[in-house]
Amino acid sequence: MTTPLNERRIANAIRVLAMDAVQQANSGHPGAPMGMADIADVVWREFLNHNPTNPQWANRDRFVLSNGHGSMLQYALLHLTGYDLSIEDLKQFRQLHSKTPGHPELGYAPGIETTTGPLGQGIANAVGFALAEKTLAAQFNKDGLNVVDHFTYCFLGDGCLMEGISHEACSLAGTLGLGKLVVYYDDNGISIDGEVEGWFSDDTEQRFNAYGWQVLRVDGHDADAIRQATVEAKAESNKPTIIICKTIIGLGSPNKQGKEDCHGAPLGKDEIALTREALGWKEDAFVIPEDVYAAWDAKAKGQTSEAAWNELFAQYQAKYPTEATELLRRINGDLPADFAAKADAFIAETNAKAETIATRKASQNTLQAFGPLLPELLGGSADLAGSNLTLWKGCQGVQENPAGNYVYYGVREFGMTAIANGVALHGGFVPYVATFLMFMEYARNAVRMSALMKQRVIHVYTHDSIGLGEDGPTHQPIEQIASLRGTPNLNTWRPCDTVEAAVSWKSALERKDGPTALIFSRQNLPFQARNEAQIQNVAKGGYVLAEEKGELKAIIIATGSEVSLAMEAYAQLEGVRVVSMPCAEEFMKQDAAYREAVLPAHIRARVAVEAAHVDYWWKFVGLDGKVIGMTTYGESAPAKDLFQFFGITTEAVVAAVKELTA
């Protein structure tokens, strides 16, 4: 090792803060921060272009700690370099309402770019950051005025590489040639269960060579080697780079370094005392000498970097005022000022056409109308574009044109969704991604992370029920809609026709505080006639589609393809109203007076009908009501036969209403 002692002392500040915070919390992972401290020292002090006084500076480099259990590494770095994260905040590590939760969480501490709890999703987010940077740069940079020009640095560990999502994301990153993605692999050979060679014997170098990455190997405790490798990584513009850093977990701990003992538990007071002695660190817990703080402080450097970029952007603004205004709009996440009016005009036009088509086709028609209005759309599908109908005439693949607006993700549902989260977090784009509803299950945890981080990601799911027919139970979703509806912060829309499909897209695009799932049918669905007031009420998530004839005695609630069954039943009944509820989450956000007007509390005779799991609907119909839907998995047969076999029919709805009102 050639690391000078003074540089090692600078890195040791991370080690002592990590072990002290974990010890005080009596919970956490000191090993990774202690093992990666030398890598972090080089990357953060010499290469990372950031401004601690303005964590949201648009052209900052992005840093992702994919092995998020080592969160004290990132918290120590943020504190030392000058972010608004005090030593008192570090002392509150893992405590209620602190800025320093157990894993990095978006929105808690400044400088945290993404929530990295589930292993592997951080590296996928990093791929999304790098994809967004490359595409945004291709769309806006001109004549040497590179106003979008930054790197994405990612730290990861064995766990991230063992998770299958890392294959999906890293494979695509190589294919897309994301040259500004630099990954540091903490190759310490240890996980919770011990030495990983018994269950993780991959040749990581060959694996990433096969992906088309540049692969470098270094001693992770040799600052000169890390520095040189980072220079090489940044010089390679056509390939992402992984730097395999051989490290010792818990470096500095005389009795626990190199062992699983320091992976996920405090070192203990006695071992911390020995570690301080071994490191030559004389200061008490949470005390950092002023000369070490001075060596870490990045505020002046960051302000200088941002000022230089501001000057560059001013030149860009003077030469390309239209593009500059557009870039700022997109970075701020604002839709064009005329979007709402134009979207409403399209919805009115759609209503006038009264088409009977599949809602997946209605979705594509909406994209065709909205796409030219929204250059920030960055679409994609998991090898199902022709089935999801996510392509519109203005789509260009980023593989062929870096300034394009569509990503062919391949069969990578999980990776696709987590990458889209990274794209949304980066800013400048509204990503939408698509697959069959059944295969939301592959992406489930990334959908959860969209919701947890409240990101504007649009999840498009087609082939929404047993209505897809012959492919059978492996492809027929049953419990998936209930799972989505049970996810906090997620809006789930299941429209019944062209108008509801268009409104669902408008709602998803205008929503800035969370993701949306749009669920569309494979089969054609009949158009439902509406007046102007009803069209306006679609956006409220639930509304009266058909008024009762005579005194109100019963309510039928339906979504998607089953709205037509409800309307057929309505034609045979008296005193019944039909409520279409394409988005229950939006309906529940309405004021009590509106909800009561749609679903009067005194009407106990309620029937819900949906070709999905019945359990979700009991809260709307009550224990006195009835739910017509699925309680088993599907079968392979034509759709018409399946609806008859499972009893999701007009006759069943009529019978249920009559029984409740007898």
Residues identified as active-site: 413
For residue 432, give the 3-state DSSP assignment: strand
Q: Can you read off the two tokens belonging to residue 429?
A: 């784009």
Separation in Å, CA 486 to CA 314, 500, 584: 47, 21, 11
**What are the backbone angles phi and psi of residue 478, rounded to the nearest 5°?**
-125, -60
Residues contacting 203, CB < 8 A, separation 6+: none
Beta bridge mates, 357: 525
Q: Quick check: 394 and 374 in contact, CB under 8 A?
A: no
Q: For residue 194, what are the β-bridge partners?
A: 191
Question: Binding site: which residues?
Answer: 29, 69, 117-119, 158-159, 188, 190, 263, 360, 387, 439, 463, 471, 475, 522
Residue 88 carries which side chain, given as an amino acid letter? E
Residue ranges for the known binding site for Mg(2+) are: 158, 188, 190
Chain-centre distance for alpha carbon 551: 47
SS3 352: helix
CA dist., res. 178 & res. 539, Å (int)? 39
CA-nearest of 386, 390, 351, 388 to 370 is 390
Strand 214-219 versus strand 241-246 pairing type: parallel
Taking the C-alpha atoms of residue 224 and residue 250, their distance in angstroms, rounded to an integer, is 21
**Residue list for the binding site for substrate:** 29, 263, 360, 387, 463, 471, 475, 522
Structure tokens at 151: 């790197």
Q: Which residues are annotated as a binding site for thiamine diphosphate?
A: 69, 117-119, 159, 188, 263, 439
Nearest to 438 by CA among 522, 528, 334: 522
Cα angle, residue 454 at apex, residues 451 and 460 outer, rounded to 5°: 55
Question: Beta-carbon neighbour count of residue 646 at 10 Å?
Answer: 18
The Cα–Cα gap between 366 and 351 comes to 12
